[in-house]
Amino acid sequence: MKASSESGYFYSRSPYKEAFDIEFAQEQLEGEMYKYRCKSCKVLTTDINGRLENHGDGCEYKLLRMAGSA
């Protein structure tokens, strides 16, 4: 295997691509210019930290994603 194809393989297997999930609908907190939260479960994006499991119980986005990936 050539070195170039090996590095390409490495990047396609990067865990970060799958671990970070930031496609959910967000809303800005009132009066907080740099704070956002999930529109469905109201958990701060800084608490979610790109992880699907950090969304609140019953979060529509979380349920949707879990159903889609099952």
Is residue 52 near Zn ion by the rule CB under 5 A? no
Contacts of residue 68, defined as CB under 8 A and 6 or more positions apart, other chains included, come to none
**Minimum CB separation from Zn ion for residue 38, in Å?**
3
User: Is 58:41 a contact under the CB 8 Å cutoff?
Assistant: yes
Phi, psi angles (nearest 5°) of residue 57: -60, 135
**Minimum CB separation from Zn ion for residue 33, in Å?**
21
Q: CB-wise, 8 or 50, nearer to Zn ion?
A: 50
Q: Which residues bind Zn ion (CB under 5 A)?
A: 38, 40-41, 55, 59, 61
